[in-house]
Amino acid sequence: MENYIAQNRQRFLDELFALLSIPSVSADPSFSEDVIATADATAEYLRAAGAQNVEVCQTPGYPVVYGEYIVDPNRPTVLVYGHYDVQPADPIALWSSPPFEPEIRTTDIHPEGAIFARGACDDKGQFFMHVKAFEAMVATGNVPCNLKFMIEGEEEVGSANLAGYVKQNHERLACDVILISDTGMVAPGVPSLTTGLRGLSYVEVEVTGPNRDLHSGLYGGAVANPINALTDMIAQLHDDKKRITIPGFYDRVETLTEGERAELAQSPFSLEAYKKALDLVDVAGEAGYSTMERNSIRPTLDVNGIWGGYTGAGAKTVIASTAHAKISMRLVPNQDPKEITELFTQYFLSIAPAGVTVKVTPHHGGQPYVCPTDHPGYRAAVAALSDSFGQKAVPVRSGGSIPIVALFEAELGAKSILMGFGLDSDAIHSPNEHYGVANYFKGIETIPLFYRHFAAEAKA
Ligand code: BES
Ligand code: MN
Ligand code: MN
């Protein structure tokens, strides 16, 4: 196995480069042919690696790529999930090299080099580790479990059509555990397993005042200004302790015991390094919680975008007719995205000042997820990471979301093991996203060990 990986090292990189060269931006319809081409390429790589029954499954949106390798129906089955779509590369001007022309450069954190490209870490580089690990397993006659692959193309836009696919394919997707590499590690070189993901409620709001843009001198002071009203309403969504003011928002929030909080605090985290990495003078967040708690076990509300009025060159004296914002709420266990969206909507409408009308439109959402550390899949992942890193994996509750993971559990009755190899500094969703070459190969080396340990766990 090790030999096979070493001998094919360059090709494993070249093929990932080829995949990264296709701009599979799911959010922007102008890339739709590229997204579809990426699905086809993914299917081709799965076939070439030895997968059976490979299929590019059509959905009302982008296809789901499926493939399997059944060694023995009596052996345990692992379903690998990943996504071949990527976030938009914007703002492109901030990239040091073109986002869809991958290149390797060294960084302080990746002295052995990192692959710079949109999707390098999230998630092409990470799901492709699974394809290459599988190829190495088949080539060396070393497949201890049944494998199934489900690689989707709409994760970055909310996985709307994957839910339907999963609901219609219970039998095909039946498995003992789901294995996902689409998360990160707490620190360079520190093997990590993500034990929780936050849920999400995402809304867009529109505040409308007069029926047209107005002269801000002739009308200013006499009619409600939608931008003033919107910013005022947004300001009311947090109190001075940075707690969210929406009535009922915290009602179902799971409170951690002091013991659990102490365990979280064990994780290697340096506030100084965190501030330095982001050039921050100070951090900010909900009173009474640490930075690590604020971005993992606590729910949040953030404006992701806000627009309205005149933003061009120079000054234009105008009161805009409308103002808009996109707002995300990250949710923690027991909060329900539908209920939170409802609570947000009621509250937001209730604080609208006189003279404007407010509209709230929900976008995608998703349930939070927690993974128990006593699950056989979790134990297998700890054992595999111990073998390859020589140290015990750290459990981490992540602030990010992979909304479909909770649906997998509900529909397929299987837990997901989140074994990611990215780093926070890999800049996913940002300009200059990259993925360490060493992390890529560490993943390829660790994944076969997972299957070996999982097969053993299942026998035990
Ligand atoms: N892979 C990320 C989520 C992630 C990254 C979780 C790092 C934990 C650690 C995923 O592709 C993502 O970006 N999810 C979105 C949600 C989606 C509905 C757009 C997110 O978290 O914003
Ligand atoms: Mn991802
Ligand atoms: Mn993402």
> How confident is the model over 106-123, as a mean pLDDT?
97
Q: Whose CA is nearest to atom 16 of ligand 1?
A: 401
- Count CB-CB contacts under 10 A for residue 8: 17
Tokens found for residue 357: 């009308």
Share of the chain above pLDDT 90, in %: 95
pLDDT in tens, 75-91: 999 999 999 999 999 99
Residues, CB within 5 angstroms of ligand 3 (ion): 122
pLDDT in tens, 274-283: 999 999 999 9
> How confident is the model over 335-356, as a mean pLDDT?
98
Place of tokens 């509209």: 359
Ligand nearest to the CA of 183: 1
Pocket test for ligand 1, best of 25, 155, 292, 370 (most atoms within 8 A of CB): 155
Q: Is the pLDDT of residue 9 over 90?
A: yes
CA gap 428, 438 in Å, rounded = 17
pLDDT in tens, 176-190: 999 999 999 999 999
Burial class (CB in 10 A: 0-12, 13-18, 19+), 265: exposed
> How confident is the model over 374-398, as a mean pLDDT?
96
Query: Residue 58 has what pLDDT?
Result: 98
The domain segmentation of the chain, as residue ranges, is 2-197+369-459, 199-253+299-366
CA gap 431, 94 in Å, rounded = 6
Q: Which atom of ligand 1 is nearest to the CA of 156?
A: 19
Between the CA of 400 and the centroid of ligand 1 the distance, in Å, is: 5
Share of the chain above pLDDT 70, in %: 100
Q: Is the pLDDT of residue 268 over 90?
A: no
Q: Is the pLDDT of residue 458 over 80?
A: no
For 199-253+299-366, give the CATH class. Answer: alpha beta
Task: For strands 52-57 and 318-319, give the pairing.
Answer: unpaired
Q: Is the pLDDT of residue 246 over 80?
A: yes
Pocket test for ligand 1, best of 182, 200, 407 (most atoms within 8 A of CB): 182
> How confident is the model over 206-224, as a mean pLDDT?
98
pLDDT tier at 341 (50, 70, 90 boundaries)?
very high
pLDDT in tens, 392-419: 999 999 999 999 999 999 999 999 999 9
Between the CA of 63 and the centroid of ligand 1 the distance, in Å, is: 19
Mean pLDDT of the chain: 97
Ligand nearest to the CA of 82: 2
Query: Residue 459 has what pLDDT?
Result: 73
pLDDT in tens, 11-22: 999 999 999 999
Asked whether 74 and 86 are in contact (CB, 8 A), the reply is: no
What's the half-sphere exposure (Cβ side, CA atoms, 13 Å) at 229?
A: 30
List Cβ neighbours of 436 (8 Å cut-off, separation of 6 or more): 109, 110, 112, 113, 114, 115, 421, 423, 426
List Cβ neighbours of 187 (8 Å cut-off, separation of 6 or more): 268, 269, 423
Asked whether 287 and 242 are in contact (CB, 8 A), the reply is: yes
Tokens found for residue 417: 């093991």
pLDDT tier at 272 (50, 70, 90 boundaries)?
very high
Residue ranges lining ligand 1, Cβ < 6 Å: 122-123, 155-156, 158, 182-184, 197, 200, 364, 398, 400-403
Q: Which atom of ligand 1 is nearest to the CA of 198?
A: 21
Q: Is the pLDDT of residue 251 over 90?
A: yes
Query: Residue 460 has what pLDDT?
Result: 65
CA gap 177, 81 in Å, rounded = 11
Asked whether 330 and 401 are in contact (CB, 8 A), the reply is: yes
pLDDT tier at 299 (50, 70, 90 boundaries)?
very high
Tokens found for residue 216: 């801000």
Asked whether 454 and 76 are in contact (CB, 8 A), the reply is: yes
Q: Which atom of ligand 1 is nearest to the CA of 403?
A: 18
> How confident is the model over 145-174, as a mean pLDDT?
97
pLDDT tier at 71 (50, 70, 90 boundaries)?
very high
Q: Which atom of ligand 1 is nearest to the CA of 158?
A: 18
CA gap 281, 393 in Å, rounded = 31
Q: The whole model's pTM is what?
A: 0.94
Pocket test for ligand 1, best of 86, 156, 296 (most atoms within 8 A of CB): 156
Between the CA of 212 and the centroid of ligand 1 the distance, in Å, is: 38
Q: Whose CA is nearest to atom 4 of ligand 1?
A: 400
Ligand nearest to the CA of 127: 2
Between the CA of 341 and the centroid of ligand 3 the distance, in Å, is: 22
Between the CA of 117 and the centroid of ligand 2 the distance, in Å, is: 14
CA gap 228, 226 in Å, rounded = 5
Asked whether 449 and 135 are in contact (CB, 8 A), the reply is: no
Pick the CATH number of 2-197+369-459 from 3.40.50.300, 3.30.200.20, 3.40.1360.10, 3.40.630.10: 3.40.630.10
SS (H, E, C) the chain: CHHHHHHCHHHHHHHHHHHHCCCCECCCHHHHHHHHHHHHHHHHHHHHHCCEEEEEECCCCCCEEEEEECCCCCCCEEEEEEECCECCCCCHHHCCCCCCCCEEECCCCCCCCEEECCCCCCCHHHHHHHHHHHHHHHHCCCCCCEEEEEEECCHHHCCHHHHHHHHHCCCCCCCCEEEECCCEECECCECEEEEEECEEEEEEEEEECCCCCEECCCCECCECCHHHHHHHHHHCCECCCCCECCCCCCCCCCCCCHHHHHHHHCCCCCHHHHHHHHCCCCCCCCCCCCHHHHCCCCCEEEEEEEEECCCCCCCCCEECCEEEEEEEEEECCCCCHHHHHHHHHHHHHHCCCCCCEEEEEEEEEECCEECCCCCHHHHHHHHHHHHHHCCCCEEEECCCCCCHHHHHHHHHCCCEEECCCEEHHHCCCCCCCEEEHHHHHHHHHHHHHHHHHHHHHHHC
pLDDT in tens, 56-69: 999 999 999 999 99
> How confident is the model over 162-167, as a mean pLDDT?
97
Q: Which of 377, 402, 427, 440 is nearest to 126 (CA)?
A: 440
